[in-house]
Chain A
Amino acid sequence: MRKLFLLFSAALLGLLLGSPAFAEEAAKAATAIGDRMVAGFGLYSAIVLAAGIGVGIAALGCGIGMGQATRGACEGIARNPELSGKLTVTMILGIALIETLVIYTLVIALILLYANPVVPKFLQFIGLGG
């Protein structure tokens, strides 16, 4: 636990220290239009990160839930093998309902990636898109 905390705080520190340095380098190299490009690419990388991490976190929770459901069904079948048909159907139904939550996140991720409503406005705001 302590190791994990150390690792996490080190990563956070790196992020905090890293981003101004990168920004400074980028700002040095960039002209006025290039600066806007950097802002635009920053937005895109943030969107890609958000989509990936969001689906990852959703899949984490879904995996835990599905594991619990399957364990329950397995225990039920082991205790009472006659009910295996009913239990399997119920388990598949429950698993599909759990899986739906990941699918919602996936839909949001796909919207973010392919049909983002904010990006055109943002690009207009920084003067890149028409």
Chain B
Amino acid sequence: MEHPILFLTLILEKFGLPSGFHYYEHADKYGVLAVLLAPHMVHSYFVILLILLLAIFGTRKSEFIPSGAQNLLEIAIESIYNFCKQNLPHDKVDELMPTVFPLITAYAFYILFCNLFGLIPGFMSPTSNINVTLGLTLITIVYYHYLGLKCKGLAYFKDFLGPIPLLIPLMLPAEIFSHVGRIISLSFRLFGNLLSKEILLGILTMLGGKFFAPLPVMILGVAVGFIQTFIFLLLSLVYFAGAVEEHH
């Protein structure tokens, strides 16, 4: 398969590091560094660096009446805070907020920056690799099971059995299947959307790059980036809420 030209991996390659698709596919030959410096990993590091820089420069001069970058950050953080508060169960908000809110904020910035990063020519979206989205999903899955066990103790497993004792053999496989299906659906949704966007951009660039054919898809890509971030956050919050809610 043809590989795209990625500037970050090219720069690292100039320094003599085994970074790029070519090395990643033959990782057994080039050692663990080829896996650590795989294209999606390099772009992921760069996105994390960007977010850190934004956080540092946005909060360096914190004023009572905000302006510039601080203003933008405050709007973003406040809207995420209200969004979390709306979607978590009302009686558990104070208990969950200190741990769930930072996680959701980190998700929001990381996924949004990753999604929009692929729109710059010469860069790729780290989220268009299944390993990245599967990692993000596993954090959500492990964390909501942990929250359920923490809030309800062993009674958490009663949720898996359904409301009526007679229906346990029917409900238990269905519940387990739905919980396993969440891993696949949550990770493949993000991955498939971003991958289809990247492939479409690549094909259109090959066919009519001279005539700016990829531009409409890029506008669509911005919308897809925001919407998929929003959906990932919403579903994560719904899973957290579902794990801690009392079923009657």
Contacts and interface: CB of A to CB of B under 8 A. Distances in A.
Nearest to B227: A96
Contacts of B131: none
Contacts, number: 30
A104 B195 contact: no
Interface residues of B, number: 15
B227 A106 contact: no
Interface residue SS majority, chain A: helix
Given A92-B227, A93-B230, A93-B234, A100 B1 contact: no
Interface in A61-99: 92-93, 96-97, 99
A92 B191 CA distance: 19
A103 B231 contact: no
Given A92-B227, A96-B227, A114-B1, A103 B234 contact: no
Contact of A103 (B1, B196, B230): B196
A107 interface: yes
B195 A107 contact: yes
Interface residues of A, number: 12
Contacts of B185: 100
A7 interface: no
A93 B193 CA distance: 14
A103 B189 CA distance: 7
A129 B191 CA distance: 31
Interface of A: 92-93, 96-97, 99-100, 103-104, 106-107, 110, 114
Interface of B: 1, 185, 188-189, 191-193, 195-196, 199, 227-228, 230-231, 234
